[in-house]
Structure 1
């Protein structure tokens, strides 16, 4: 299947450039607008009594009052900022610099009924002072305390502005990150299903886009379908071959049983032939069982059972078959819960694990139980040398046998793989790790119901 290529105008690179350009533009515009919006605005406040008392004697003489022009020094640092007269050709006069920068504020101050004060840049504007219908505004430099208050107001405004810009940029960055990460996360989830070996992976979650991410999703989708088909074909081939071998192998065993005589008991070649035939039969049966599990062909027959009683029965049966293992098999604890599961499959998992532990170690094998709220764990631990960390993940792979030196007497490498698949069918899991005090610890976790 040909994967559709991405056209340049749908390119993710172009989209990212546009998005980053838009993000920078929005951030710059937001900063500019917020700078205007959050610009510290000084508020009018009533004139302090001490200032009024200082200026009132100087501004009570009518002749002096009418002679005051903008820029004139009255006393100390006090200067006239504006004059509003009810006579003459020029009724309104302002300090030129103040008119350019703060003309609207001067007009607003002249319209007040009572004297007010307001900080402007580095100066304090006061007024209006009125005499015989004429008004003037006065300024002086800010005092130390007034300057500190002004700086504090500007600092708070700047912090609020910076915080607003940071939050706004953060929200935009989060939205951009979600836009980029969400399709990638969906691809990861889809590929995890494929990695788990799902026969029918759910690929609907893969993003359908026209850019490089969409192209990658389509390539992964096609790869997943090809892998699923290849895996299914491999499973069918293995199952079909095993099924075809089952009948002739059964006939061979029947033929061996019919032709066997007392003389064959001491014949090593005959005995080797019988062992090989039995071994092949076991391999075929386990391959077929594994195939049925992987293809969902086994129906659960759930029933309520005492897990401790089932484990004890398993130990008794194994000791009956091989009395020499009686001292090596130990069941720990009495708090084994009653669970609802398939008894045969539950026993199959436990038996495979216990037989594997008995086969590869000469130590004691302990079976214990941990009970949770909704599940239970059966722990099978041996006291052998354990397993190398690098091979722990391979223990449940079909046909894997960990110790090449023992291959001549080891199993077929399907027991643990079959056990893990069975645990999944039962709604649980099967894991293995080395015990801190030595030996291998295999944990079978199953739901109680």
Structure 2
């Protein structure tokens, strides 16, 4: 038994003993008050036992008989009930102390396991069918441990993916440098390769820094009133310029003026990431459609990007918003898989939500819903 058990036991039993003492004291005081009332009446005990109506004497002892004075003797003390009550209180205090201290001991053991790196420990099974505050504390611990496990697994996966993403351009840089040394006549092409790989690494590091700031909650001012029509028009203009170069088209349709409160630069980057992702997965000659409108209630702004790409397997629809997730079936692996992850963080920071769904006619639809403002 731990110290907590004995503390519970001591205080519970002390409370029960106090109750028993209070009851016994009350009984004693009542008895003394009865004696004093009889003394005031001037009634003295008779010299000899009086008889019952049937001729038999009353038993010895101090009691009130009808029409007669009290008998001499000792006051009645309920010894047997008191001893039984003490024993019952001991058992009850022990059971109650065990009931309260056991889940706390389990919680302490679970915390020690987490400190030692075991994030798989759970308290739900050992709590049984309890439905009190201690059981709620155990369920909160399980949620905390599960969330910590998810975060740590995500950090490990992120570190692995970053290492993998950096290794490839570094390897190509080393190959280009070696080629330039071995074949001086190809110096110009080698320098071009070094420049492209340097830009690729710079872009990757920039996106990682952006993602890190978003996850840390460092997003700057979030109190701008943004016109979604103007913001999307800027995104569409940039997307059409890029689409024309790679042989795609961009179609835009907007209905109604919509205002959003937040950070215009972050929202521009989030929408741009979604649109560029759609352009990258749309085949040459295809079209990317953008739609912006207020919902029927006027409380939300809906922004949809529809491409004509191969779509995404159903099991990967949620995973594509994770860092470095590009899909096993994707044939376009020239990106880092950070664009949609950044978009999701930005949208959630603005109180919105983002989701992806496969279109019935082929392709993917990414929908962003943001809370509208009145201005």
Question: Structure 1 residue 430 and structure 2 residue 354: aligned?
Answer: yes
- The alpha-carbon distance between structure 1 residues 292 and 422, as it changes in their structure 2 partners (threshold 3 A), is same
Q: TM-score, normalised by structure 1?
A: 0.44
- The alpha-carbon distance between structure 1 residues 314 and 325, as it changes in their structure 2 partners (threshold 3 A), is farther
Question: Structure 1 residue 311 and structure 2 residue 311: aligned?
Answer: no
Say what the alpha-carbon RMSD is for the aligned residues: 4.2
Alignment of 1:352-371 (within 5 A): 352-362=273-283, 363-371=286-294
Question: Structure 1 residue 266 and structure 2 residue 183: aligned?
Answer: no
Select which of 337, 340, 343 maps to 1:413.
Answer: 337
Select which of 307, 315, 323 maps to 1:398.
Answer: 323
- The alpha-carbon distance between structure 1 residues 223 and 265, as it changes in their structure 2 partners (threshold 3 A), is farther
Secondary structure of the corresponding residue to residue 282 of structure 1: helix
Question: Structure 1 residue 442 and structure 2 residue 358: aligned?
Answer: no
Q: Counterparts of 1:333 and 1:321 in 2: how far apart (Å)?
A: 21
- The alpha-carbon distance between structure 1 residues 236 and 387, as it changes in their structure 2 partners (threshold 3 A), is closer
1:202-222 deviation digits (Å, cap 9, x = unpaired) = xxxx9xx99645676444433
What residue number does 2:212 align with? 291
1:234 Cα offset (Å) = 6.8
- The alpha-carbon distance between structure 1 residues 403 and 291, as it changes in their structure 2 partners (threshold 3 A), is same
- The alpha-carbon distance between structure 1 residues 217 and 332, as it changes in their structure 2 partners (threshold 3 A), is same
Q: List alignment gaps of at least 5 residues for structure 1.
A: 6-205
Kindly indicate whether the alpha-carbon contact (under 8 Å) linking 1:235 and 1:291 is maintained by their aligned counterparts in 2. no
Alignment of 1:48-447 (within 5 A): 212-213=130-131, 217-229=136-148, 264-267=187-190, 270-321=191-242, 323-324=244-245, 328-362=249-283, 363-372=286-295, 373-404=298-329, 406=331, 409-447=333-371
- The alpha-carbon distance between structure 1 residues 262 and 297, as it changes in their structure 2 partners (threshold 3 A), is farther
1:377 Cα offset (Å) = 0.2
Q: Counterparts of 2:211 and 2:192 in 1: how far apart (Å)?
A: 29
What residue number does 2:27 align with? none
Q: Counterparts of 1:291 and 1:305 in 2: how far apart (Å)?
A: 24
Secondary structure of the corresponding residue to residue 406 of structure 1: coil
Q: TM-score, normalised by structure 2?
A: 0.51
What residue number does 2:89 align with? none
What residue number does 1:48 align with? none
Kindly indicate whether the alpha-carbon contact (under 8 Å) linking 2:355 and 2:366 is maintained by their aligned counterparts in 1. yes
1:437 Cα offset (Å) = 2.8
Q: List alignment gaps of at least 5 residues for structure 2.
A: 6-123
1:228 Cα offset (Å) = 4.6
Q: Counterparts of 2:318 and 2:212 in 1: how far apart (Å)?
A: 21
1:321-345 deviation digits (Å, cap 9, x = unpaired) = 5632575111124534233332111
- The alpha-carbon distance between structure 1 residues 358 and 352, as it changes in their structure 2 partners (threshold 3 A), is same
1:354 Cα offset (Å) = 0.6
1:164-196 deviation digits (Å, cap 9, x = unpaired) = xxxxxxxxxxxxxxxxxxxxxxxxxxxxxxxxx
- The alpha-carbon distance between structure 1 residues 326 and 306, as it changes in their structure 2 partners (threshold 3 A), is farther
